[in-house]
Chains A and B, each alone.
Chain A
Amino acid sequence: MANPNGIGASVRRREDARFLTGRGTYTDDINRPNQTHAVLVRSPYAHARIGGIDAAEAMQAPGVIAVLTGADMEVDKVGSLPCGWQIHSKDGSPMKEPPHFPLARDRARYVGDPVAIVIAESREQARDAAELVMVDYEELPAVATSRKALAEGAPLVHDDAAGNVCYDWHLGDLAAADAAFAQAAHVTKLDLVNNRLIPNAMEPRAAIGEYDPANGDYTLTTTSQNPHVIRLLMGAFVLGIPEHKLRVVAPDVGGGFGSKIFHYGEEAIVTWAARKVGRPVKWTADRSESFLSDAHGRDHVSHAELALDKDGHFLALKVSTIANMGAYLSTFAPSVPTYLYATLLAGQYKTPAIYAEVKAVFTNTAPVDAYRGAGRPEACYLIERLVEIAAQETGIDKTEIRRRNFIPAEAMPYQTPVALQYDTGDFAKNLEIALPLVDYDGFAARKAESARRGKLRGIGFATYIEACGIAPSNIAGALGARAGLYESAEVRFHPTGSVTVFTGSHSHGQGHETTFAQIVAERFGIPIENVEIVHGDTAKVPFGMGTYGSRSLAVGGSALVKAMDKVERKARKIAAHMLEAAETDIEVKDGRFVVAGTDKSLSIGDIALQAYVPHNFPLDELEPGLDEQAFYDPKNFTYPNGCHVCEVEVDPETGVVEVASFAAVDDFGRVINPLIVEGQVHGGLVQGIGQALYENCVYDEDSGQLITGSYMDYCMPRADDVPSFTVRYHEDQPCTHNPLGVKGCGEAGTIGASAAVMNAVVDALSDYGVTHIDMPATPEKVWQAIRRATPAQAAAE
């Protein structure tokens, strides 16, 4: 490697210096001169008619400046929060898209739906006064689960969404699937729930709105993964502020996991209110508020059937899923259970016929949208549970049944029956790498050893593939996206040879300030210290679609390469001029611009200086300056894939599941910084393990109250709940259609882990005849499953 801090090096993160010394700048760390504080009054009911709001007493409370409601927003013609995707039902009709106002107007539709904002001199004063706001609620019957929402005669969340159905969509070839089922030697059937989760980035959401009457400029500082998207959505659709008058800044952001992609009402509320009160307005969520009002994730109820021939080859897959959208459509919500889920149902297998139907429903719960993996963990979990059960039912070893059905590497590029075309992947090799890592052959001995200690041991596999690098704009558009999903980058060389890179990707833990700088340092042969990465500010970065769907490197990094290509082309021209050579004679070697066949050469630094202090440029052919911008729109999705293997030990007396070991073999294409990538995998794995064993969002079915509304009720995985991991990369299948050969690594851990863990849990309980448990496999659920499966044994104890 030419550059010690170049591609492939585990460069220690540059952003750590500020985070480790308390100098990070998160939104809540920022205070503006003359700032006010806002607290939201939220509906305590899952469904209620709002009769009137009496703020007289609150207005008298110390320090209160204003109490504003949905009626005030209506007067100011504040719009509805827009949805970024439109799905069409089987019958061609567009999805139901009821308005979602930042402050509820006539009805509140979930516990936590904002109905008023109290603005005061201090946060404590605002909080005290919020309790004095009298809202005349008339409680209405509520539906808190998707099953209840679809029941005959269920109360309607929105009057114009009959049966609470948002859309009833399908994908694939039903006739082909039915024909294959008719020929099947065996059919494996499964009903399963993909449990609802609350993302829980450790930094609660926050927003500061500012308005400068001197020039009519607005500024929103917010905890966002994509400030430009917020500017577009809030400016154009909600508040009617032209983009040149609206700056959105997402400073250091304390984790996102999808939950900070979306445009939330609070962002519009503080921006609008700042102008109303003539002072900056700051809002920071309590954790309790985050539980209630952050977009939740998952929440699928599915029935699936897999048809196999007599040798265990998959013939067809049919899936029927009910997806909970919550009370309103969040920004990306409709795409998650459709194009990010059903399109992945081929998994790593050559199943020739697939049909999926998805019914999305409204309920009186918080909106549900993308959470790390977004649709792909749901697909992986469903497929891999089915495959494992099929293996058990047919008596074929769980690794062998997968081998028999893997899409072979030589079949790439491979067109699946559900719209995607995989470019690369060697799935059999992932498995072959994983088996010795976990000593698969030694499992029987370990199981016997566990049994001697009275424990049940199980091993579970999950192979996954995901569509990342979201997204080719033409495909995304065809699938219902209302915007293209490209990325931008600007590479600005300064006269003294240092570089500022402006990227539309946003880092909220991923380490872009390091990884992106490595790419630039390597390309131009310059020290990494000379490269600055700027992100998260619409006033600095030309444009950006932000960070989600494991897209930063695959799309944002590719935009960066494209901008560097442009810089190099320009630099080559300048070098030719400076060295009095023909442009075609200039070669670039290790970042130096050399006249071919001579010892005459220039560094990029020499060229940058001339670019800004030119005296004799041929101005008709060569402009001064060395600053280039590029937009990159991917040609295809990228397809990270891998094989995860989990071993668990279950205590049959208590039902406690312990993850004994976990190995992940992942194909992310080319890896830029192995240390950072490994960290991404670890974090993803624990979120997947969390879903499998600990985390579960529960609403009371009757009242619609959130039962799991704090860290005392919602079980987050803690350090002593999880093991250390074995992580390996499989790097010889680079992505074929982006310049870095990268596929993305941010979501992989989450996608494979929950299936691997649950397969291991069910394997451990297989001696008791247990074939399936829904997540999370809590001690109580496992204990009950054991007792149910062995009534005789339970009675004897």
Chain B
Amino acid sequence: MPCTVSMTVNGKAVSREVEERTLLVTFLREHLGLTGTHVGCDTSQCGACVVHVDGRSVKACTMLAAQADGAQITTIEGLAASDGTLHPMQAAFREHHGLQCGFCTPGMVMSAIDLVKDNASPTEQEIREGLEGNICRCTGYHNIVKAVKAGAEAMHGSGAKVAAE
């Protein structure tokens, strides 16, 4: 049975008729053409499909599009400023070589942003545990951890860093 779902994706209102069983990730990729969100598994283990739903990170393969009806969705495509300036977390991943093949990267960046939202100076252990739901096969995580640390500091500004210390 088809149903109509409406939501705001990267600041734009969208509405589509979809099959009820359509997953949010399928909706984003196939119906909206937002292919930056990736599918790396079929058991909700890998985290390649993480997006923000109402500001929190969610694996878009664990949710039906219909469940996201009315929600605010942000995908990797919606992070950078309209002039192309990268989000501080995106910039940190580039600076610290936190990506190789790029496939896990969108989910990793989206998870990282949520992870450090309320924590300007996460410890290495906090970062590693926070990214436990995102698998990367290329980087060995070393540079991802560095990038998330730097991204957190950049997101919160140097003032926040000093205050946290």
Contact = CB atoms under 8 A, between A and B. Distances in A.
Interface of A: 12-13, 15-26, 28-29, 124, 200-204, 252-255, 257, 286-288, 508-511, 675-676, 678-679, 681-687, 710-712, 716, 718-720, 722, 724-725, 749
Q: Which residue of B41, B93, B94, B95 has the most chain A CB atoms within 10 A of its CB atom?
A: B41
Interface of B: 19, 21, 29, 34-43, 45-46, 48, 75-77, 79-80, 86, 90, 93-95, 97, 99-106, 109, 124-125, 127-129, 131-132, 134-145
Given A202-B46, A683-B139, A719-B127, A22 B103 contact: no
Given A12-B94, A204-B40, A508 B101 contact: yes
A255 B99 CA distance: 11
B76 A202 contact: no
A710 B43 contact: yes
Contact of A21 (B86, B129, B138): B86
Contacts of B104: 202, 254
A18 B97 CA distance: 14
Given A28-B39, A679-B97, A202 B135 contact: yes
Name the 10 nearest CB pairs between A and B, nearest first: A22-B36, A19-B102, A254-B103, A509-B101, A682-B140, A711-B45, A509-B100, A686-B140, A29-B35, A22-B76
Contacts of B19: 124
A13 B94 contact: yes
A124 B21 contact: yes
B97 A12 contact: yes
15 contacts: A12-B97, A19-B105, A20-B86, A20-B90, A21-B79, A22-B35, A22-B37, A124-B21, A203-B101, A203-B103, A254-B102, A511-B100, A682-B142, A683-B100, A719-B132
B32 to A, nearest CB: 12
Contacts of B86: 20-21
Nearest to A20: B90
A509 to B, nearest CB: 3
A198 to B, nearest CB: 11
A682 B98 CA distance: 11
Contacts of B38: 26, 202-203, 254
A737 to B, nearest CB: 28
Nearest to A690: B137
A676 B103 CA distance: 17
B102 A12 contact: no
Contact of A20 (B93, B125, B129, B131): B93
Given A20-B109, A124-B21, A683-B137, 4 more contacts: A686-B140, A712-B45, A718-B141, A722-B140
A682 B141 CA distance: 8
A13 B40 contact: no
Contacts of A17: 94
Contacts of B144: 719
Contacts of B106: 22
Nearest to B87: A20
Contacts of B41: 287, 710-711
Contacts of B90: 20-21
A286 B42 contact: yes
A387 to B, nearest CB: 26
Nearest to B92: A20
B142 A725 contact: yes
